[in-house]
Structure 1
């Protein structure tokens, strides 16, 4: 048992990760990371979740759900900023936890994040598809159900729009992050302008009575979930938390950052602040335009609200930009997810093929796997189901990173470089961040927790069946043991020779 525990707890040296990631090109600046973060956070969620969560859980108080989720995400973002500043490695939480807690715990947090990226790619693709179909419907264009919906949903077989856009983003990323970053920067500006346009135009169609009562009376929905009261707001927090997880995509690309000590904290915290302001504003305007109940089961509430308020042209413009802008979320998620898969291959936790770079130093093998899995998941799982599954995996990683601050502080300035940013209110805030992430996780529905449990069971099987034996840390330890044994044998031979000489 002690031998098993020692294997699970073996830690990677920060210097090893620096050497392994040295081939990745450091080309990303603060501007690129702000665009990456805002592009990933302010994505499908801002055009979909405010209406859906208002109708299902929080009513007009949906903005409070967004605000509460932002507070938890903000505390975790402080921990991410310190970690990424001190250890700018590919793989974000997976690599950090490997250094501070050990291989097994790194694998668990990385496996949790992998679920996020697999599902997030499908989720964003699905949301983009819904908005695109809403955009072309007024001009009489409509996909047949078989090509418009996921398998088994409303006669669907394959969401062809989602498949095409995921493939296009993968093709763009296969030519390098600097090219993708330039596209990202332009699209993010357009998307933020679209959001601001909705806010300004929507303010002219506000009906104050839609805010009354601001917090509806609590009752239980037919599916057993909460609606109204603080319980409904809490249920909304758990469902919309996925809106803020995009800052992990910044950290996952830290190995490609210029001056990461300053670039990473500014990119992570800056993008989150911008996103919070936009999310709360959109939520307030949306429920003010129409009664929240009208947004039930509506995957494109922003476009719907503008059209029904008599702003059809603005709706088309905003939705067109929104659809184009959703590419930014796919760029961010697929960049981060492919770097995480690359990290698994780099460390031998999964096939070494995933850890190989092409002649341009890009992890395109990992990108291929992420693309295929994202397409398959998106083809099978409906939009609403994907939303909570994303949050489940991410929250596990967030808890690890929050606690990791306690392990990294004593090592900063020693074997780990002194970071350019430190989490404030230490040692209290890391514990509060951990408890906040735990509370949000606890609020997820039982289905999300069950599937998360199944995902982790699969991860444990892979770790004990493959990762533990094939990891480079294990190979390194085996080599060290052999060298020690050889040295010991040489000493014994030398002693025997001396005795014979005597």
Structure 2
């Protein structure tokens, strides 16, 4: 146990990361990170979760769930902004925790984030496939049932469109991040335009009676979850929080940022602010157009609301752009996940070939592995039972980062550079950010916590059996 603890608390020298990441090309600016953040945060969830959470948990007060989740995400984002400014390394929380707490704790934080990226890439790919099929079917294009869904789902064997879209993103990123950033910037503009069109058109169909009562009376749903009252708003927060976790995808690419001490904070905080405004607008308009009960079990509430309000053409346009826009989230999650895997290989915690760069200084081995796992998860196996791991694992990493500020701040200006951004109201705000993330985590369902526990046991075994010893050999 003494050896294990010594290894887990062995802190990485930040100069080692600077040296290892020096070959990554610093080509991404503020607008690229804003596009990456907005593209990842404002993705599939904005077109689905406002209606679903309103019907299941919060009623018209769903906007309060979004705002409360945004407050917690914003507090964490402050910590992310300072960390990424002081420690602009690939791997985000994994690399930072390695420096401030030690190797083993960094692995735990990184392993938590890895669950997010594997599942999120698969989730978005499958969601894109389902929405694209819904758009194409009225035009007479329909895939055989065996190729239209994951294995064991509605007679499906493999989701061929999910496979193709993951492969397409992998090919795009394998050619470099600057080209991917250009595509990302264009698609994000289109997606934001679609959301603004929905808000503008949908606002003309709002009936104020649908907002009353704004906070319905509390009751317990058939599945044991809460609806109405503050309990329903709280349940909505935990369901919604995954909408905001995409800002980690910005931090994961810090080693490829121009002037990271300023670029990273602006990208992280700016993209989150844009996302909050868009989510709040969609939520208010959606529950104002129709009574929230109409959205129960509705996987496409935005399109449904527009069609039933008498705007079928607008509905088709918005949904078509939304499908294209999901591509942006796929780019962001794939990019960030591949950089995290690269970091694991770079440090020897996973096979070192994952940390190798090709002749163009790109970590394409890591990109290939991430894409392969995502294809298996999204196109072969049903993964609904793992979906809350996206939030659960990430919240654990968020808690590490927020308390990590207490270890980072005393070292700034000494063995670490003074960052271009510092978390305000220190030392109070880091504690509030930690408690906020813990608050959201406790609201997740029991199955999510159980699966998270299993994932962490697996990660700890990998560290003890392989990673810990392999890092020793590399020294």
Shorter-chain TM range is over 0.9
CA distance in 2, matches of 1:159, 1:238: 29
Question: Does structure 1 residue 353 correspond to structure 2 residue 353?
Answer: yes
Aligned positions, number: 475
The two structures have a TM-score, normalised by structure 1, of 0.92
Q: Give distance in 2, aligned partners of 1:357 and 1:396.
A: 29
Q: Residue 475 of structure 1 corresponds to which residue in structure 2? A: 473
In structure 2, relative to structure 1, the CA distance for the partners of 1:212 and 1:139 (3 Å cut) is farther
- Compare 148-157 and 419-428 and name the one that shifted more: 148-157
Secondary structure of residue in 2 paired with 1:246? helix
How far apart, CA to CA, are the structure 2 residues paired with 1:307 and 1:383?
Answer: 30
Higher alpha-carbon deviation: 404-413 or 121-130: 121-130
Is the Cα–Cα contact under 8 Å of residues 21 and 90 in structure 2 kept in the other structure?
Answer: yes
TM-superposed deviation, 1:109? 0.2
Q: Which runs of 4+ in 1 moved over 6 A?
A: none
Distance 1:150 1:43 in 2: 21
**Secondary structure in 2 matching 1:109:** helix
Identify which range, 298-307 or 349-358, moves more after superposition: 298-307
Deviations 1:120-153 (A, max 9, x none): 1011112212322232243344334333332222
TM-score by length of 2: 0.97
- SS at the partner of 1:285? helix
Which one has the largest radius of gyration?
A: 1
> Deviation of residue 382 (structure 1)?
4.8
Q: What is the SS of the residue equivalent to 1:416?
A: coil
| Per-residue deviation, 1:83 | 0.2
Correspondence for 2:213: 213
CA distance in 2, matches of 1:416, 1:12: 12
In structure 2, do the counterparts of structure 1 residues 56 and 153 end up closer, same or farther at CA, with 3 Å as the change threshold?
A: farther
Task: For 1:217 and 1:159, locate their aligned partners in 2 and report how far apart those are by CA, in whole Å.
Answer: 41
CA distance in 1, matches of 2:286, 2:147: 30
Aligned counterpart, 2:133? 133
Q: Does residue 399 in structure 1 map to residue 399 in structure 2?
A: yes
1:334 aligns with 2:334: yes
Instruction: Identify the residue that residue 233 of structure 1 maps to in structure 2.
Output: 233
Cα distance in structure 2, aligned partners of 1:149 and 1:287: 30
Residue of structure 2 equivalent to 1:436: 436
Deviation sequence 1:415-436 (CA, Å, 0-9, x none): 1110000000100000000000
Q: Tell me the distance in 1 between the aligned counterparts of 2:338 and 2:9.
A: 26
Structure 1 vs Structure 2 CA RMSD: 1.3
- Unaligned 5+ segments in structure 1 are 480-502
Gaps of 5+ in 2: none
Equivalent in the alignment of 2:290? 290
CA contact (8 A) 2:66 2:237 kept: yes
Aligned to 2:426: 426
Q: Deviations over 1:190-232 (max 9, x none)?
A: 1100100000000011122221221122122222111111111
1:249 is displaced (CA, Å) by 0.3
- Distance in 2 (CA, whole Å) between partners of 1:203 and 1:382 is 37
CA shift, 1:233, in A, is 1.0
Partner of 2:301: 301
Alignment of structure 1 residues 242-321 onto 2, 5 Å: 242-321=242-321
Deviation at 1:283, TM superposition (A): 0.9
What is the distance in 1 between the residues matched to 2:152 and 2:299?
Answer: 18
Moved more, 15-24 or 218-227: 218-227
Answer yes or no: is the 8 Å Cα contact 1:134–1:300 preserved in 2: no
Once the two structures are TM-superposed, the CA of residue 4 in structure 1 deviates from its matched residue by 2.6
**Given that residues 262 and 420 in structure 1 are in contact (C-alpha distance below 8 angstroms), is that contact kept between their aligned partners in structure 2?**
yes
Would the alpha carbon gap of residues 304 and 161 (structure 1) be closer, same or farther in structure 2, given more than 3 Å must change?
farther
Residue 384 (structure 1) shift: 5.1
> 1-side partners of 2:130 and 2:298: how far apart?
9
CA–CA distance in structure 1, aligned partners of residues 371 and 3 of structure 2: 38
Equivalent residue number for residue 487 of structure 1: none
CA distance in 2, matches of 1:7, 1:177: 34
The alpha-carbon deviation at position 386 of structure 1 amounts to 4.8
